[in-house]
Structure 1
Amino acid sequence: MTSKTLRRRLHHADVDGKRHEHLEEASGLDDLNEPLLGNPDIWPFESALAEIWNDEQRLQQLHWALLFSQLIAQWARWLANIVLGSGSLIGRLLTSATKNGPKSRLLAPTRTPLQEVRLKNLQQRLQVPFDGSRVEHQDALKQLWRLAYPDRELPPLKSELWKEMGWQGADPSTDFRGGGFISLENLIFFAEQYPELFHRLLHKQDGSRAEWEYPFAVAGINVSFVLAQMLDLQSAKPTSMAGIRFVQLLEEDEMAFDNLFCVTFQMMDAQWLAKRASYMEFNDVMKSTRTQLERELALEDVSSVKDLPAYNLLAK
């Protein structure tokens, strides 16, 4: 059985093989708060994002508690230095007790004007939903097909052929929902900047693959969505630790989000192969990918996406 046939099985049958050929009739939803992740009887992504969202809420609660503690610590240092005098015994004790706390870097540094502009531009991109009636969005979808299959004829915007790229049905526009137009831009950027790696992932050429593989295009939408959540880009001023570090990366690279998308997609696939995962395990793979990325963003010597250890995956 060819890899193409295996990928098509994801669209033609559910886990127990009881239903066939019915997914292509699924309609798009208007809610843009989460991506279209498919029939919950078939796709593991919806529960994955629910768990990620719950984890995000717990992390945010912890973060704000730590942030409040740091504000108290900073106030204590100010009191020691200004009121009591840093040269006094009490002043030295208070300064020593609060200076090197384990969470002393939680407060976001002042952003530069360049970071402000680039963050605002990125957040504006994130607010644009995919609209299948807009000519420029249709053209972008066609561009992705040409990049993916340069030697094949461009199909109509509604065609069974789109399933071969990893869309759920014959109409890719129904798969974007919460991923928005930026997720399509991310896929195009990946195909243009790293064409060889893009095609290796698209055609699942690396490693020993499961019979039930993750769908390439829909997985890309999920990577974009999870990145935006992890980096706290819905907030006017990101306060998550990963978000604060990411804003710093914008100083060096205006396309940091797009480049990080490429790194994350490749990380996810590497995790997929290492775990010998099947598509029902996409949940665990995406969560472990996120954890690894958060750790790498926390490294002190990371000032650009290229400094991330996982960036080496793009050079293979």
Structure 2
Amino acid sequence: MSPKILRRRLHHGDIDGKVQEHLDTSENLDASSEPLLEDPDYNKKGIQKLDNSKVKASTLEDIWNDERKKEQLHWTFLYSQLITQWAHTLANNAVGSRSLISRLLSHSPNTPNRQSNRMLPPSLSPLQEERLRHVQERLQVSFDGSRTEHQDALKQLWKLAFPDRGLPPLKSELWKEMGWQGEDPSTDFRGGGYISLENLIFFAQTFPDSFQRLLHKKDGTRADWEYPFAVAGINVSFMLVQMLDLNAGIPSSSAGIRFLEMLEEDEMTFDNLYCIAFQMMDAQWLAKHASYMHFNDVLKSTRTQLERELALEDITTVKDMPAYNLLR
């Protein structure tokens, strides 16, 4: 199999979101959704063989006690749901987002759902709402190679990546040197959208040393088959959107809720997280001695590590994350 075939097979899958679908379905499952081990006391028809000598007859008192316990649990659940709804109604109707009830709700411990690792969406301040809306509006913009501003952004990225080289045409084999799949970079944005290009530009402008080291693969002992830089960057953007639950109205994943808290402190939290994630992905790549076909596994490990760091206490900004020290 030729290297060209390998390259296209890997990255078309990644950009279409299949990697992230795999991550979402594997990391959000708990033990209750895994297949049960086969019981040796089951016959071929799936009927359990019971030892009648070990079966105890239930008395009327046992049955009554069981029914009472079920009823108590049922009403306890309904009552807790009613209290939760009542509290949220008061919080939503209160004047000002920083009312007492809103504060209590935003700081009270959330209990994740065992099936989906979801939490109750937090109450947002006006500043959080505005900044979240801005990020989500950016996510709705697809890359359009016919738009002048999108073409200009691609040219800007080239100048940041190769400041000492001339600007190639928008369709040129030279774009492959940045890690695009073909001569036309616009065909690689299907899964990431325009925001993934904005992320790459922000990375190059904010952390130019780290950007150049990753672009030119300057750190560590590298594999013969390396990941293409630009296409990997699009995958990192897509992974972050999924992890932070940004396609929801209000994120309710644990990482998404922490993101909302950080967003109030820094409106560029998503872009800064992107830089950390890209640098972290490269560090994972080197630690695993990975090569081209291991990119999916490395991206999955990167997501797991990011979620762990976001779950740490006393993390209020991106700069508080341990992985921030990887950036130069």
The two structures have a TM-score, normalised by structure 1, of 0.74
Please state if 1:55 is matched with 2:26.
yes
**What is residue 194 of structure 1 aligned with on the other side?**
207
Structure 2 gaps of 5+ residues are 34-73, 85-107
Q: 2:277 aligns with which of 264, 269, 273?
A: 264
Structure 1 gaps of 5+ residues are 1-15, 24-37, 63-68, 80-98
Deviations 1:179-221 (A, max 9, x none): 0000000000000000011000000000000000000000000
Deviations 1:6-30 (A, max 9, x none): xxxxxxxxxx22x76x89xxxxxxx
**What is residue 314 of structure 1 aligned with on the other side?**
327
Please state if 1:291 is matched with 2:262.
no
Q: 2:152 aligns with which of 139, 144, 147?
A: 139
**What is residue 120 of structure 1 aligned with on the other side?**
133
**What is residue 292 of structure 2 aligned with on the other side?**
279
In structure 1, distance between residues paired with 2:141 and 2:207: 25
**Distance change >3 Å, CA 101–CA 249, structure 1 → 2:** closer
- Name the SS for the 2:265 alignment partner: coil
**What is residue 40 of structure 1 aligned with on the other side?**
9
**Distance change >3 Å, CA 101–CA 242, structure 1 → 2:** closer
**What is residue 246 of structure 1 aligned with on the other side?**
259
In structure 2, distance between residues paired with 1:146 and 1:306: 28
Q: Is the 8 A contact 1:178 1:225 kept in 2?
A: yes
**What is residue 75 of structure 1 aligned with on the other side?**
80
Structure 1 residue 52 displacement after superposition:
1.7
Segments of 4+ moved more than 6 angstroms: 41-44, 99-102
Percent identity (aligned): 64
Please state if 1:228 is matched with 2:271.
no
Q: Is the 8 A contact 1:44 1:282 kept in 2?
A: no
Structure 1 residue 76 displacement after superposition:
8.4
Deviates most, 218-227 or 237-246: 237-246
Please state if 1:301 is matched with 2:310.
no
Q: 1:110 aligns with which of 111, 123, 134?
A: 123
Structure 1 residue 300 displacement after superposition:
1.8
In structure 2, distance between residues paired with 1:263 and 1:115: 22
**Distance change >3 Å, CA 108–CA 73, structure 1 → 2:** farther
Q: Is the 8 A contact 2:110 2:119 kept in 1?
A: no
Q: Is the 8 A contact 2:121 2:250 kept in 1?
A: no
In structure 1, distance between residues paired with 2:317 and 2:302: 19
In structure 1, distance between residues paired with 2:170 and 2:11: 24
Larger radius of gyration: 2
**What is residue 96 of structure 2 aligned with on the other side?**
none
Q: How does 1:153-168 map to 2 (within 5 A)?
A: 153-168=166-181
Q: Is the 8 A contact 1:44 1:279 kept in 2?
A: no
Q: How does 1:6-21 map to 2 (within 5 A)?
A: 16-17=1-2
Q: Is the 8 A contact 1:146 1:154 kept in 2?
A: yes
- Name the SS for the 1:131 alignment partner: coil
Q: How does 1:75-94 map to 2 (within 5 A)?
A: 75=80
Structure 1 residue 163 displacement after superposition:
0.1
In structure 2, distance between residues paired with 1:188 and 1:246: 21
In structure 2, distance between residues paired with 1:124 and 1:44: 25
Counterpart amino acid of residue 111 in structure 1: L
In structure 2, distance between residues paired with 1:111 and 1:75: 22
**Distance change >3 Å, CA 282–CA 109, structure 1 → 2:** same
- Name the SS for the 1:121 alignment partner: helix
Counterpart amino acid of residue 54 in structure 1: T
Counterpart amino acid of residue 232 in structure 1: D
In structure 2, distance between residues paired with 1:313 and 1:242: 20
In structure 2, distance between residues paired with 1:136 and 1:239: 34
Deviations 1:240-287 (A, max 9, x none): 111111011110110000000000000000000000000100111000
**Distance change >3 Å, CA 116–CA 153, structure 1 → 2:** same
Q: Report how many aligned residue pairs link the two structures.
A: 257
**What is residue 9 of structure 1 aligned with on the other side?**
none
Q: CA RMSD in A?
A: 3.0
Structure 1 residue 116 displacement after superposition:
0.4
**Distance change >3 Å, CA 74–CA 270, structure 1 → 2:** farther
Structure 1 residue 56 displacement after superposition:
6.1
Counterpart amino acid of residue 39 in structure 1: R
Q: Is the 8 A contact 1:44 1:280 kept in 2?
A: no
In structure 2, distance between residues paired with 1:101 and 1:214: 39
